Structure 1
Amino acid sequence: MELINTCRPDDAATAYSTSLHWLLSVGYRHRPRQGCTCTEQNCPVPGAHPRPDSPVYVGPELIVQELEQSPGAGIIAWTTRFDALVLPRSVGLATMAALDQIAQVPCIVTDDAVTLLVLPATGRFARTFHPDLEVRSGRSNWIALPPSHGTRWDTPPWVPQTSTPVALLHGVDVGCRLGGPSSPESSSELAGSNPLPPTTTPSE
């Protein structure tokens, strides 16, 4: 099978849309030596945050067309098919070291943060495990996906060498490992974590 190339915006958007059924939008553009098209002089995430007027796409064709016309634009995923746990980079990397021993947890890394993906509507259960955790959940929240400027996958969201989505863990199973080894407070079994449910693409 051909590997998914998340360095190419059109390939990445197609994979996120068709294989993972994520709702996507096109973000602001990052311009080398000119910064973000949002015009904020010191934008903290240039080319990696949503435009207020950007439509939400449920299939790959239109978003690929827009990306081809918008070099340097970010790819934005709305947190409907997953919850995102955003952590300071040092805490997130320590968490990944613990999680790598037990499961493949999708993980996006930036210079300052690590974002872990868990089952939708379960991120809130991880809040009590670390004071610096930010939970993003629901249609009004978002994350920037690779190859948006400054982002990369540490652990991609599909089984290696395939386009099959990995089984996301419950927020508790990830939360109890935030910052390091497992805590005895976990209330759910890893072996019982379920894969993403089937999704149908809504009609326009």
Structure 2
Amino acid sequence: MEETIAVTEAAPLPKQRGDQLLDHAVRYVEERHWDVFPGTWLEAADGHELCSCADAACPLPGAHPARPDWATQATGSAVQVRRSWQRQPTASILLPTGRTFDALDVSESAGFLALARMERMNLTLGPVTCTPDRRMMFFVLPGAGAKIPDLVRRLGWAPAALDLRARGEGEYVAAPPTRLGGRGAVQWARRPTPANRWLPDAEELLSALAYACGREAAAERDRRE
């Protein structure tokens, strides 16, 4: 009897997670006007969760595009989003960059250092995510990729010396609450709110980010020496 009850109670959990993913995907479309598309998902196999792509060594399990034509899947239609997640309720939520926003990608340690600096400077921030692989994504206006190398040089840094890059056209980011295998879920360090609907330009955040990435690079050189 106890076994029957346990199975009955556990069964709804996948659906609950699917409902949660669908709800978030629809909200991104309706409230932020972001395009979204469904990615891969996690499947249980021999007590482990594997990526639906069937690659046992997948570097982004359950959090990458499921099809090569993913860019054409991305949609701003809530109706289409509902159809997509009804077909695969546990699909990851992916957001194409280079459309309504780009993302400045830095390490988690540099990102939190930069956030503290930005707050002291009273800078206007857009949404910011933290990923389970210890990266942070700062959402900025599109077009950041073309600007970053020159802006970094003006600040006195060689672009290749900093762990900082822009994700723009032809790329994507995973949105909360997408899970990255057993490593955990993508989370908001700064949630989307009405107050940050208008995104900053990359140039407004770059000084603080470059400073934090430079500090991290210097610390890494000191450790090696």
Same fold (TM over 0.5): yes
Give the secondary-structure state (helix, strand or coil) at the position aligned to 1:35.
strand
Is the 2:106–2:163 Cα contact (8 Å) retained in structure 1?
Answer: yes
> Structure 1 pair 35/169, CA: closer, same or farther in 2 (3 Å)?
same
Equivalent position to 1:169, from 170, 177, 200: 200
Structure index of larger Rg: 2
Separation in 2, partners of 1:178, 1:8:
32
Instruction: Report runs of 4+ in structure 1 exceeding 6 Å deviation.
Output: none
TM superposition shift of 1:57: 1.8
- 1:94-137 CA-to-partner distances (Å, cap 9, x unmatched) read 11222234223310101220011111113443342661112111
Q: Is the 8 A contact 2:127 2:191 kept in 1?
A: yes
For residue 33 of structure 2, what is the aligned residue in structure 1?
Answer: 21
Matched, 1:30 2:52: no
2:62 to 47, 59, 74: 47
Select the structure that is richer in strand.
1
TM-score norm. by structure 1 comes to 0.74
What corresponds to 1:132 in structure 2? 163
2:170 maps to 1:151: no
Aligned to 1:142: 172
Q: Name whichever structure is richer in helix by fraction.
A: 2
Letter of the 2:83 counterpart: Q
Residues 1:68 and 1:96: Cα distance change in structure 2 (over 3 Å): farther
CA RMSD, aligned part only?
2.2
Aligned to 1:105: 126
Letter in 1 for 2:22: D
Closer, same or farther: CA 141–115 of 1 in aligned 2, 3 Å: same
1:180 Cα deviation (Å)? Answer: 5.2
Which consecutive residues of structure 2, in runs of 5 or more, have no partner in the other structure?
1-18, 180-184, 213-225
Rounded to whole Å, the distance in 2 between the matches of 1:34 and 1:170 is 39
- 1:157 corresponds to which letter in structure 2? P
Q: TM-score, normalised by structure 2?
A: 0.68
